[in-house]
């Protein structure tokens, strides 16, 4: 099973991200770009990769323990960027103008809990981002570079993070399909 942990968005925020993605798509076009489908919008906390079913149970159990020590927080979507950078983009993303530190803290605490069940620790802290496009060719790269020089993105709105999910990613010819395996609710107020 190919697994990762993520914070998902409520429907209202998904709609706002779709609108922002659409405006950017109008400015950039489709040549050399693969636009991420709305059902794949999320903030990744930890990518696990291929994981045996038995280990997945231990991972889910460890994550559930983290839920009892976590309290809800607010994330505001906004800001536009690219990895590895705006001059050589391979991924275009929307950041978090508020709550990025909370997402990074949650990812760090999750990383520590999962290390207890044999999952390798991350070397770098989380950079909160929601991928909206992947660059697939030179034409896309050039169009994104030009657009990012002039693009400004107002905050898209806020949402309360009250849980996170363990997702399975199934690779198909049409792209990855995600399904929720486990939901970890925050029980601390």
Report CA 38 to chain centroid distance, whole Å.
12
Q: Hey, what's the torsion of the CAs at 96, 48, 112, 52, to 10 degrees?
A: 150
pLDDT tens-place string over residues 16-43: 999 999 999 998 999 999 999 999 999 9
pTM above threshold 0.75: yes
52 is an active site residue: no
User: How many residues are present in the chain?
Assistant: 189
Q: How confident is the model at residue 108 (pLDDT cuts 50, 70, 90)?
A: very high
**Is 5's pLDDT higher than 90?**
yes
Q: State the CATH class of domain 2-185.
A: alpha beta
Q: How confident is the model at residue 166 (pLDDT cuts 50, 70, 90)?
A: very high
150 is an active site residue: no
The one catalytic residue among 129, 132, 143, 161: 129
Using CA atoms, how far residue 66 sits from 74, 85, 115, in Å, is: 18, 33, 13
Q: What ranges do the domains of the chain cover?
A: 2-185
The one catalytic residue among 3, 6, 42, 63: 42
pLDDT tens-place string over residues 175-188: 788 999 999 999 87
């Amino acid at each position: 099973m190919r697994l990762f942990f993520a914070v998902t968005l409520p429907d209202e925020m998904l709609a706002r991200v779709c609108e922002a993605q659409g405006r950017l798509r109008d400015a950039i076009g489709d040549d050399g770009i693969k636009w991420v489908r709305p059902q794949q919008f999320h903030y990744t906390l930890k990518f696990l990769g291929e994981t045996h079913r038995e280990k997945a149970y231990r991972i889910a159990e460890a994550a559930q323990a983290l839920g009892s020590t976590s309290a809800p927080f607010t994330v505001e979507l906004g800001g536009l960027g690219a990895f590895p950078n705006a001059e050589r983009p391979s991924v275009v993303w929307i950041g978090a103008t508020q709550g990025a530190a909370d997402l990074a803290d949650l990812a760090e605490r999750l990383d520590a809990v999962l290390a207890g069940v044999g999952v390798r620790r991350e070397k770098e802290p989380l950079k909160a981002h929601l991928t909206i496009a992947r660059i697939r060719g030179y034409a896309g790269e050039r169009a994104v570079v030009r657009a990012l020089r002039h693009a400004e993105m107002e905050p898209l709105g806020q949402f309360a993070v009250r849980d996170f999910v363990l997702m399975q990613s199934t690779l198909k010819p049409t792209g990855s399909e995600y399904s929720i395996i486990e939901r970890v609710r925050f029980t601390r107020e």
